[in-house]
Structure 1
Amino acid sequence: MKQTGGWLYRRAENILAAMLALMFAAFLLQIVFRYVLNLPIGWTNEISVILWIWLVLFGAAFVVREEEEIRFDLIYSAVGAKARRVMFLISAFALIVLYAVSFPAVWDYVTFMRVEKTAYLKIRFDWLYSIYIVFVIAIIARYLWLSWQAMFGKAPEEFDPTKAGSGV
């Protein structure tokens, strides 16, 4: 199971890298067409925005690990393991409840957006914003799993600023 999870994680990273490369290529193409050929095109801007939305939400759902999240942890890192566990469980409970309560409205909005399309590429907005539904489901599942671990397993790790990195 751990081996399959690692393989899926690496493929998610590959997808993110491909999206970033496509976004960069569209950005460069936009510059060439606008400033070199004096022929502005709009679809490159549209694809860049779409890829940015998908990059952020797909990455947050499947690639960014809990310890890589940005947070203000002055109090969190100063307390013991039991207090960290309680603080984490309160935060996780709040996130799970808020995302779960908002999910029906999110679903309604995203499915309603099938009537609209993007200006240049004619991509339906429900397809474009469907990544947010995936994101919400993934975050709820992640925090349910992490809450289970915090309650019955080990406490969340103490943050060590000397080991902070960029995730590489």
Structure 2
Amino acid sequence: MERLRTVGGWLHRRADDIASIMLAVMFIAFICQVVFRYLLNLPVGWASELSIVMWLWLVLWGAAFVVPEKEEIRFDILYSSVRPGVRRIMVVLSSLALLFLYGYSLPATWDFVTFMKVTKTSYLDIRYDHLFSIFVVFVVAILLRYIWLLVQAFRGRVPDTAFSKDEA
């Protein structure tokens, strides 16, 4: 179990590194866009397109691999004010609902992403199936996360809240 935690920690740090690199690329592309447009009077589309691509990937990558469970959006006021047994029921119900919704949408998501191979972006010539593939990765990661949460809830463990009662 300790080896699994070590590997998991290493993978989480690499996911953070990748998110940092995407943020840096997005920032550099933004600065290039400003310099080319306002200082050199040469508007360039590739910088804007690269910023948009990095933003899309950064948001979905971050939601899938970087943001910890306790920082996920939930109704913390309600969640933190109930007993652990009720929290467990809330986790089970929300996990089942999200597993159903994401699981139901996965085949259509896959079909859409693979269909988009026929089109490329305007400036960087990135095929849209490669561009949107991060959404399939995101859906699979979310499915695995909620399977894990469901198993943990059945074992009697519930996620911590972002704010404990002492901090509020």
Q: Normalising TM by the smaller chain, what interval?
A: over 0.9
What is the rounded CA distance, in whole Å, between the counterparts of 1:147 and 1:87 in structure 2? Answer: 10
Aligned residue in 1 for 2:15:
12
Q: How does 1:70-109 map to 2 (within 5 A)?
A: 70-109=73-112
Partner letter of residue 152 of structure 1?
Answer: R
Deviations 1:123-156 (A, max 9, x none): 0000000000000000000100111011114233
List runs of 5+ in structure 2 lacking aligned partners. none
Once the two structures are TM-superposed, the CA of residue 78 in structure 1 deviates from its matched residue by 1.1
What is the rounded CA distance, in whole Å, between the counterparts of 2:66 and 2:110 in structure 1? Answer: 23
Aligned residue in 2 for 1:21:
24
* CA RMSD, Structure 1 to Structure 2 (Å): 1.4
Partner letter of residue 107 of structure 2?
Answer: P
Question: Aligned to 1:136, which of 126, 135, 139?
Answer: 139
Identity rate of aligned residues, in percent? 56
Task: Give the TM-score taking structure 2 as reference length.
Answer: 0.93
For residues 44 and 162 of structure 1, do their structure 2 counterparts lie closer, same or farther at Cα, with a shift above 3 Å needed? farther
What is the rounded CA distance, in whole Å, between the counterparts of 1:156 and 1:137 in structure 2? Answer: 20
Moved over 4 A (4+): 161-164
Once the two structures are TM-superposed, the CA of residue 75 in structure 1 deviates from its matched residue by 1.6
Answer whether contact 2:69 2:159 (CA < 8 A) is retained.
no
For residues 162 and 18 of structure 1, do their structure 2 counterparts lie closer, same or farther at Cα, with a shift above 3 Å needed? farther
Task: Give the TM-score taking structure 1 as reference length.
Answer: 0.93
Aligned residue in 1 for 2:44:
41
Once the two structures are TM-superposed, the CA of residue 161 in structure 1 deviates from its matched residue by 5.9
Partner letter of residue 93 of structure 1?
Answer: L
Question: Aligned to 2:70, which of 67, 71, 79?
Answer: 67
What is the rounded CA distance, in whole Å, between the counterparts of 1:142 and 1:163 in structure 2? Answer: 27
What is the rounded CA distance, in whole Å, between the counterparts of 1:69 and 1:116 in structure 2? Answer: 34
Aligned residue in 1 for 2:115:
112
Partner letter of residue 145 of structure 2?
Answer: R
Aligned residue in 2 for 1:148:
151
What is the rounded CA distance, in whole Å, between the counterparts of 1:161 and 1:48 in structure 2? Answer: 40
Q: Does 1:160 align with 2:164?
A: yes
Partner letter of residue 72 of structure 2?
Answer: E
For residues 125 and 162 of structure 1, do their structure 2 counterparts lie closer, same or farther at Cα, with a shift above 3 Å needed? farther
Answer whether contact 2:70 2:159 (CA < 8 A) is retained.
no
Partner letter of residue 53 of structure 2?
Answer: I
